[in-house]
Amino acid sequence: MYKIGVVGEKDAVIAFLSLGMTVKAVETVNEAVQAVDGMAREGYGLIFLTETFAKDMEETLLRYQNQMIPAVILIPGTQGSLGIGLEKIRDNVEKAVGVDILSKKEG
């Protein structure tokens, strides 16, 4: 069974401890990159990462984008959602289905 990890600012990730997940509270983008890469090396199957840090970690996210494991899922940080996670989901759905079915259509 794969482990689940969470990386981000302390206030945004601390609650995940109660769900039995490994939590890495970080303060800098460099710490976040090291935490994600470390969890990937340790065989984590799923890593939640706050958008606060993800916005500055494009190279790291690209490294894991086409791999089955780990799946890196973006979650809102303490600043709320920056829309990055939803955009990535929309891109993946469009790639899989061939059309953007998640956009709100004006009509």
Residue range 30-72, pLDDT digits in tens:
999 999 999 999 999 999 999 999 999 999 998 998 888 899 9
Predicted pLDDT of residue 104: 66
Out of 22-26, 65-69, 83-87, 90-94, least confident range: 90-94
Rounded Cα gap, residues 80 and 34, in angstroms: 23
Predicted pLDDT of residue 82: 67
Predicted pLDDT of residue 67: 83
> Which residue in the block uniquely carries the two structure tokens 């799923």?
46
Total domains in the chain come to 1
| Count of residues making up the chain | 107
Say what angle helices 29-41 and 58-65 make with each other, to 10 degrees: 20
Rounded Cα gap, residues 104 and 53, in angstroms: 27
Joined together, the tokens standing for residue 89 give 């989901």
**CATH number, domain containing residue 66:** 3.40.50.10580
Predicted confidence (pLDDT) at residue 106 exceeds the cutoff of 90: no
Domain that holds residue 11: 4-97
